Amino acid sequence: MVKCWLLKDTDKITDTRLENHREPKQYVTGDDLRRFGVFISHVPVTDLESGLDKICEEGGYKWRDQIVVNRTDLENYEERVKDFWNEHFHPDKEVRYLASGSGYFDVRNEKEEWVRMLLEPGDLMVLPGGIYHRFSPTMEEACHVIRLYSEVPTWTRFYRSEGECHNTRMAAIRTGHSMRIS
């Protein structure tokens, strides 16, 4: 299951691939995540196709794609990983399933603190539209992520410096990042 904790201040992070816990360590629960609109679950990799098919049917997800993040398969790896680390949000719900490897997804909670989620094989994460987040590979520097969509993906992203007035962001603020999972 997804492990989550409060991240130390960004300006104190020297390597995004490390856990970067606060001192003392402060863990975050699935219930804590749900309060600000993030849903996590686990679908065993051994049940990958049937499990993802069920999630797609229940959630109304009609499209899938995948991204393999490693130095061999991801073109311009260093540049892309730096871009993934830039704080941003998408207007649409973001659904991610980790098929192999590991990676960190950081999200802002209702207090604007960073919560780090370690996704490992079988972990599923759903972020509401309008929630700020970012991604970093772990020291393993390899992960295979399956992305699920309810509509044809448009890949619109808004960085922190430009997104505060966007309608989706304003709605997320009004609702405290609340969302309906399916």
pLDDT at 179 over 50: no
What's the pLDDT at 154?
79
Domain residue limits at 121: 3-154
Q: And the tokens for 77?
A: 């790896």
What's the pLDDT at 146?
96
What's the pLDDT at 101?
98
42 is in an annotated binding site: no
166 is in an annotated binding site: no
79: Cα within 13 Å, side-chain hemisphere? 3
pLDDT at 178 over 70: no
162 is in an annotated binding site: no
The answer to whether position 169 is within a domain reads no
The answer to whether position 164 is within a domain reads no
When divided into structural domains, the chain yields a total of: 1
d(CA 136, CA 74): 14
CB 130 within 8 A of CB 176: no
The answer to whether position 39 is within a domain reads yes
- φ/ψ bin of 132: left (φ > 0), alpha (ψ from -120 to 50), beta (otherwise): beta
Q: Which tens digit of pLDDT belongs to each residue from 4-53?
A: 999 999 999 999 999 999 999 999 999 999 999 999 999 998 888 888 89
d(CA 72, CA 109): 34
The answer to whether position 125 is within a domain reads yes
pLDDT at 181 over 50: no
88 is in an annotated binding site: yes
Q: How confident is the model at residue 176 (pLDDT cuts 50, 70, 90)?
A: low
The answer to whether position 101 is within a domain reads yes
Q: Which tens digit of pLDDT belongs to each residue from 119-175?
A: 999 999 999 999 999 999 999 999 999 999 998 887 788 898 765 555 555 555 555
Going by the DSSP 8-state scheme, the letter that residue 8 receives in this structure is P
What are the backbone angles phi and psi of residue 53, rounded to the nearest 5°?
-60, -40
Q: What is the pTM for the complete model shown? A: 0.87
Going by the DSSP 8-state scheme, the letter that residue 27 receives in this structure is B
- φ/ψ bin of 160: left (φ > 0), alpha (ψ from -120 to 50), beta (otherwise): alpha
The β-bridge relationship of strands 123-127 and 88-89 is: unpaired
Q: Which tens digit of pLDDT belongs to each residue from 39-80?
A: 999 999 888 888 889 999 999 999 999 999 999 999 999 999
CATH of the domain at 15: 2.60.120.10
pLDDT mean over 90-113: 94
